[in-house]
Amino acid sequence: MAKIAKDSNSNSLKKITYFIDDKLGGVSSLNLNLIKHAPSDVHQEVISIVESNGSFTKANIKYPVEKTYAFINDQTHNAYAVIKKLRSLIQNESGALILNYGTEMAMLDHFQVSKTTYQLVHDEYNLRLARDYGNIVDVFICHNAFIKSQLHLLYPNRKNDIHFLPHGVEVSKFFRKKVSDNAPLRLLFLGRLTKSKGIFDLPIIASILREKGVSVKWTCIGSGPEEIDFKTSWNNLDLVEFISPKTNVEVLEIASHHDVFVLPTKFEGTPVSLLETMSVGLVPIITSLNGGIQEIVTTDIGYALPIDDNKAFANAIIDLNENREKLETLSSSCRQKIINQFNLENTAKTYFSLFLNYESYKKEKKLKKRKLGSTLDQPFLPNFFTRFIRMLMA
């Protein structure tokens, strides 16, 4: 267990509390990476928000922290009862609150806290939260220049509160071996199995390659709400394997036996999967979306392509298939970029220098108490009544 130190500015502990939805994906991975690289003298705790009837695949991560609170958010409950219960988990003392999703931000808009709030603005979803709940945020942290520019437009008078901190990944001990010139390219998809990740584009890309006589091997790592439909969408002629490794170490070891990372995603910030696969030398072929992808995937790294352009994805794969020397050059560049710019050992230090300076960033917050939920969500309605009516209507 980590050694716990006193805050030099008060009698309280140096304390960081993370709100993390229990959802499989990059947000959970990013927070886990930070937690694992915290200074040894910091007390960390996680409030894991579990959507009991949500469609997202659960991350089921055991965070290496002093305390984890499993907070069950049942959609039948009165939203005001939910945020009141969530508030009860926060102690009235100084410290840092790390915000990732809307539940905790709605709660903070209704209850004062004595802690300093840091919103991680991962993508355009979080950008909308920053717009709606900026009044309760002390510090905005973004991972790419596009989100930073959008935050500056939202809050032109708060530029000192907006910090651009690219996140990182551990540099993997695994690195791909050169594929022989006559062997099929080994293609990897890694991500949540949902339409927004472009999973149903993959069989289309495979069919284009098949029609052009290009032999490849596909591996798909992940799980999600559309897993069954995704698996049945493939043609029996395609060589494809579906894997669900239990640990991130297994994921990276499997990734190292591939050549290309294919992600025709429709919505993204800075994908952790992109950085992780680059760390083992996989060349990315990915959708060119505003934000981290465009900044990371330059022509010396891989291919950032127009959204929904499956022919462009297939042609990029064909380009690497026909030019194995280019594949090896790009692969080495991917690994080196992670070492030089996205090594978690270095990037985590910048995060914690900001988190642990919470006394300097704390501001007085004006609550707006925005209306939550539907007609059955009211501060004056007993929770049992709201639940009873919703269960009758179900």
Per-10-residue mean pLDDT for the chain, 394 residues long? Answer: 39 85 89 95 96 78 95 94 97 95 97 97 95 98 94 97 94 91 95 94 97 96 92 93 87 95 93 95 96 93 97 98 97 97 95 96 96 95 95 88
C-alpha distance from residue 43 to each of 31, 36, 161 (Å): 15, 12, 24
Q: Is 1 inside a domain boundary? A: no
DSSP 33: H
Question: Is residue 137 located within the same domain as residue 237?
Answer: no
**Residue at 214 is within a domain:** yes
Statement to judge: residues 21 and 163 lie in one domain: yes
Q: Is the domain of 20 the same as that of 160?
A: yes
Q: Is residue 232 part of a domain?
A: yes
CB of 260 within 8 A of CB of 321?
no
Do 256 and 274 reside in the same domain of the chain?
yes
Q: Distance between CA 383 and CA 77 in Å, rounded?
A: 6
Provide the domain limits for residue 73: 15-168+345-393
Q: Are residues 92 and 207 in the same domain?
A: no
Q: What is the pLDDT of residue 95?
A: 96
208 in Cβ contact with 239 (< 8 Å): no
Burial class for 247, CB neighbours closer than 10 Å (0-12, 13-18, 19+)? exposed
Residue 283 lies in a domain: yes
* 176 belongs to a structural domain: no
Q: Answer with the one of 342, 368, 383 that is the final residue of a domain.
A: 342
Instruction: Give the chain's domain count.
Output: 2
In a shared domain, residues 46 and 127: yes
Residues 160 and 210 in one domain: no
Whether residue 259 is contained in a domain is answered as yes
CATH of the domain at 159: 3.40.50.2000
Q: Distance between CA 26 and CA 377 in Å, rounded?
A: 31
Residues 205 and 245 in one domain: yes
Token readout for 14 is 């140096």
Residue 177 lies in a domain: no
Q: Which pLDDT score, from 0 to 100, does residue 41 have?
A: 92
Res 8: pLDDT: 43
Structure tokens at 358: 């919470």
Let me know if residue 48 belongs to a domain.
yes
| Same domain membership, residue 354 and residue 313 | no
30 and 128 in a single domain? The answer is yes
Whether residues 156 and 196 fall in one domain: no
Residues 44 and 63 in one domain: yes
CB 32 within 8 A of CB 3: no
The answer to whether 367 touches 107, Cβ cutoff 8 Å, is no
Nearest residue to 262 (alpha-carbon basis) of 191, 326, 183:
191
